[in-house]
Structures are given as structure tokens and as C-alpha cells.
Amino acid sequence: MADISSLLQTQHSLYTYNSDNALLRVKAAQADRLKREYERIEDKYDGSAQADYEAKLEAAVNAKAEIATPYQRVQTALGKMDDLRNKLIEMRNAANLGSAEAFDYAYSTLTTMVGSSWLDNSLLTSNNRTNSNTWPDRPELFSAGSYQIELKHYFLGNDYSIEMDDGSGTVRPDFSENTLSGGAVGGAKFEDISNVTITGDQISFDVGGTTHTGTLHKGGGGVLSAWGYNNFATATDQDNAKAAIDDAIERVRMAETQWGIAEAQLSGALSKLGLTQEQAQSDFESKSIEIIEAKTAEKKAAKARFDLSVNSLALTSNQATNYIQQMFMAQPIGQSKGIFDIIGGY
């Protein structure tokens, strides 16, 4: 007759294997269920609840940036006011002294200080001459949030051009060389121009014994180079130059006033928009933390349920195995008799 202890061992091993295999399959199913639970939680907290807060924050950031740029531009312009005014006063003193060289040097320096829109169109003081010989005071309207603020460009240097009556083209000054550029008089030095007469927008002047005429266009402060005032040959020429410079100084004062108003408006808007941005940032962060905490809590709860179910299954399986082992296999067969002894005939 077969050794019943061996049969028991074999049956017990088979039971243990099947039990472990079943437990493994249950664990895998539970893990898959936990994965699906995590996916459901992720879908629930997909960011849609934060979207409104994020949109408000983005709008506040953009509005503040929209105001910050013109605010910096107007501050840059206002920072130049004293220097521009002093350079114009320097030109006025040179005209009063009859010094064409000092006048043109200050004129050229002022041209550099105000800058050129061709090189940097963000400068509010720059030379913004167009191809049609105009220098427009260009307004810009900035909208940010509920604010609408106008910021105007004022060319605070001086420039001019002459459309030649002989059809040779447009003449412009070259301040780097103190010469005229373009037209029939291109290359003529300022010091070689004489007998200048200006009536309204009509101008005539001599270069090398030849008289030239044309239509004069003036931009910015409207001051000409020293040759435009006959190099201050007479008191009248000096007075004409000084009167033009006084108008240019008044233009600086007017621009400074307008930019001062714009700066105050932009500064106020920037402060309020900054507070709006801070509040929107705080709301967004609070909502984000709230959502993260809620999502974390749900995931922890799902993981706790998973751990509990798996541990319970393992405990049940171990208890069943131990029960069978204690009941049938804990003592040597030879030392105790049980139901299997009787069945086996021992």
C-alpha cells in the first residue's frame, strides 16, 4: 500500500502550488484594478479645474507686460530731456557767439543722442523721417486689461531735406561729414554754401558760384545747420537761428509734459496690474495645491484598499495552508492516529 505520508506531502505541495498560483492571479487582477483606478483619478484631475485660474493668470501677466514695455520706453525718453535741452542751449550760445563750427558740432551730437527710428523704432525721441520727407508725430495706443493709454512719438532732434527744382532729386545733410548728400549738390561742404535765402518753404543757396533752388522740408525741432543761417554772418542770421532753437526747446518742453502724463498713467496701470497678477498667481497656486492634495488623497486611498485586499488574501491563503498542515501533517504519523490512520488501516 502506498505510503500515505508521501501522498499527503504530494497533495499538500499540489495544494500549495495551486493556492500560490491563484493568489498570484488575484494579485495581478488587483494590480490591474489599481492601475485603472489611478487612470480614473488622473482623468478626474486633468487640469480642467485649473484652466480658468491659469487663463486669468496668463491674462494678467500679458496685460502687465503690455504696459511694462511702453513704461520703459517713456522712462528712457524722459531720462534724455535735460541732456537734449542742454545741447539745444549749447547750440543757441554758439549761434549767439557766431561760431558755426561749435553750432554744427552740437547739432551733430544732438542727432546722435535722439537716435534713429531706422536703427531702433522703440525710441520715442528718434529721427523718424519717411521717404516722403515728413517727420510725423506718431501716436501709439496701448491696451492692457481695462486700460487704454496713448503714447506719442516726438522727434526731438533736427533734420531737413531739399527737393531740388532742377529735378536732380532730394538733398539731405550728412552730419558725419558736414556735407550735403544727393541731387546736383551732393558732396558740397557746409562751409562752401553761401547766400542762403529762405521764404516760407522755398530756399535758394549758392555752391561754387552756382545758385540752386528747391523746396525745404524741416523735421523735429526744425533747426537747420549753421549754413542755413549763413554761418551767422549777420545779426539777423543769428536771430533766425536762435528763434528756431527756442521753438525746438519749447518742443522738448511740450514732449516732456506729455510723456510725464503718460508715465504717471503707465505707472498707475502697472501697479494695479501687478496686484492683479499677484492675486491671480495666488489663486492659481491655491487651486493647484488643492487639486494636488485631493488627487494624492484619492491615490493613497486606492493604494490602501489594494494593500488591504492583497494582504487579506495572503493571510487567508496562509491560514488555510497552515490549517491543513497542522491538521494532517504536524505530527509524525506513527505517534498519533487520526482519520487517515483509520482509513489507511493503521
Tens digits of residue pLDDT in 297-344? 766 776 677 666 666 655 555 555 554 555 455 554 444 544 444 344
Q: What percent of the chain has pLDDT over 70?
A: 62
- Return the pLDDT at 283: 58
Residue 245 clears pLDDT 60, i.e. is over it: yes
Residue 121 belongs to what domain range? 55-159+219-278
Q: How far apart are CA 55 and CA 95, in angstroms?
A: 60
Is 323 among the domain residues? Answer: no
Tens digits of residue pLDDT in 228-237? 999 999 999 9
- Return the pLDDT at 1: 45
- Return the pLDDT at 142: 74
- Return the pLDDT at 22: 60
- What residue type is 75 in one-letter code? Q
Cell of 268: 498707475
Q: How far apart are CA 245 and CA 200, in angstroms?
A: 17
- Return the pLDDT at 202: 97
Is 311 among the domain residues? Answer: no
- Return the pLDDT at 346: 46
Tens digits of residue pLDDT in 127-171? 999 988 899 988 888 766 667 888 899 999 999 999 999 999 999
- Return the pLDDT at 35: 72
CATH number of the structural domain spanning residue 257: 1.20.1330.10
Banded model confidence at residue 109, pLDDT cuts 50, 70, 90: very high
List Cα–Cα distances, 326 to 5, 19, 21, 77, 264, in angstroms.
14, 17, 22, 95, 91
The mean per-residue pLDDT over the stretch 189-199 comes to 96
Instruction: Give the pTM.
Output: 0.66
Q: How far apart are CA 81 and CA 114, in angstroms?
A: 10
Tens digits of residue pLDDT in 252-282? 999 999 999 999 888 887 777 655 556 656 6
Q: Where are the beta strands (DSSP E) in 200-271?
A: 202-207, 210-220
Is 208 among the domain residues? Answer: no
Which range, of 78-92, 125-139, 187-201, 312-326, averages the lowest pLDDT?
312-326
Is 36 among the domain residues? Answer: no
- What residue type is 294 in one-letter code? A
Beta bridge partners of 143: 148
* Alpha helices for 79-201 (secondary structure H): 81-97, 100-114
pLDDT top residue among 105 and 21: 105
Side-chain half-sphere CA neighbours of 326 within 13 A: 6
Compute φ and ψ for 150, nearest 5 degrees: -95, 135
Is 111 among the domain residues? Answer: yes
Residue 149 CA, distance from chain mean position: 19
Is 77 among the domain residues? Answer: yes
Banded model confidence at residue 345, pLDDT cuts 50, 70, 90: very low
Tens digits of residue pLDDT in 201-238? 999 999 999 999 999 999 999 999 999 999 999 999 99
Is 248 among the domain residues? Answer: yes
- Return the pLDDT at 333: 45
Per the document, the length of the chain is 346
Tens digits of residue pLDDT in 34-50? 677 666 766 665 556 66
Cell of 330: 504536524
Is 243 among the domain residues? Answer: yes
Q: How far apart are CA 83 and CA 95, in angstroms?
A: 18
- If one counts the domains in the chain, the total is 1
